[in-house]
Structure 1
Amino acid sequence: MYILDHTLALRCISSSISENTGKMLFQSIFTTAVLFVASTIALPTDLESRQSATTCGSTSYTAAQVRSAVSAGYGDYQAGRTYGSNSYPHKYNNYEGFDFPVAGPYEEFPLKTSGVFTGGSPGADRVIFNTKGVWAGTVTHTGASGNDFVGCTGTS
C-alpha cells in the first residue's frame, strides 16, 4: 500500500509540475507579447515630435523654428486669418508630387529665420502642414524653376 501511495503521489507531483510549467510558459509568452504590443503603441505617432532641423538652400532652421512656423500657420488657418499679398496660410496643392508622411489637404506657411511670418515678404521657404495641424514637410523656391518648390533636407 505504501508503494502504491508513493507512486500516486509522484504522479500528482509530476502532473502538477507539468501543469505549472505549461502555465509558466504561457505566462512568459503572454507577458512578452503584451510588452511588445505596449512598446509598439508607445512609439511616437505625432509627426511634430519628429520634426527636425532642416536646411532650405543655404538657410538652416532649427526644429523649434519649424515647430513655431507650423504652430503659427495652423493657428491662423483655424482662426481664418491670413497675412500678406498671397494670403498665408493658404492651400498647398503639391503639384511637385512630394511624398509627405501625412495625408492632406495641405496648407503652406512661410518659414522665417527670426520670428514667425505676419506679413511683408514671405521669403522662399515654407512649412507644409495638413488641415489637422500636423507637419508634413518643408519646401523652398530656392533652386526650383519658376514658382515651383524643391524639398528642404528631410522632405522628398
Structure 2
Amino acid sequence: MALPSEIVARQSCVEYCGNTCYWQSDIDAALNKGYSLYQEGETEGSNDYPHAEENYENLPFAVSGPYQEFPILNSFKVYTGGDPGADRVVFNTDGEFAALVTHTGASGDDFVSCSQA
C-alpha cells in the first residue's frame, strides 16, 4: 500500500475549450512552442502561427500585450502545421500566458474565452 508521500500527483483539467479539457502541460507545450517560434522569427502552417492576436472581442487576458496566438490542438499534440483546429493559446511578446481562447461557440472568426475547470 502506497504511503501518502509516495503518491504521485496526477495531472488534471485546468481549462475547457468547448468539450476539450486541457492539462497545464498541454498549455505549457503549446505556449513554449509558439513563443520559441516567435523569438526565432519563424512560423508554422499556412496561417503563419504564431501571429498577432488583436483581441477584437475584448476578452479578459491575464497580462498586457501585445499578443500572439498559437494553436493548441485537441489531439494534445504540439502544432507543427496543417489544420490548427479551433483553440488557441494567447501569450504576450514577453512569453507570458494571457489566455486560452476558442472559435467554438463564437460567431464567424471571433473567439470566446475558454473556461477554467
**Pairwise TM-score range, normalised by the shorter structure:** 0.7 to 0.9
Give, in angstroms, the shift of residue 115 of structure 1: 1.8
Partners of 1:57 and 1:124 lie apart in 2 by: 9
CA offset digits 1:54-82 (Å, max 9, x no partner): 11001111011001100000000000111
Secondary structure at the counterpart of residue 60 of structure 1:
strand
Q: How many residues align?
A: 103
Give, in angstroms, the shift of residue 114 of structure 1: 2.3
Give, in angstroms, the shift of residue 142 of structure 1: 0.4
Q: Return the TM-score normalized by structure 1.
A: 0.64
Which structure has greater helix proportion? 1
Partners of 2:39 and 2:14 lie apart in 1 by: 25
**Percentage of identical aligned residues:** 53
Give, in angstroms, the shift of residue 98 of structure 1: 1.1
Gapped regions of structure 2 (runs ≥ 5): 1-12
Partners of 1:98 and 1:142 lie apart in 2 by: 15
**Hey, what does 1:93 align to over in structure 2?**
54
Residue of structure 2 aligned with 1:147, choices 86, 92, 109? 109
Partners of 2:45 and 2:102 lie apart in 1 by: 18
- Write out the 4+ residue segments of structure 1 that deviate beyond 6 Å after TM superposition: none
Larger radius of gyration: 1
Q: Is structure 2 residue 104 aligned with structure 1 residue 130?
A: no
After the TM superposition, which residues 15-94 of structure 1 pair with which residues of structure 2 at under 5 Å, given as runs? 53-94=14-55
Secondary structure at the counterpart of residue 70 of structure 1:
helix
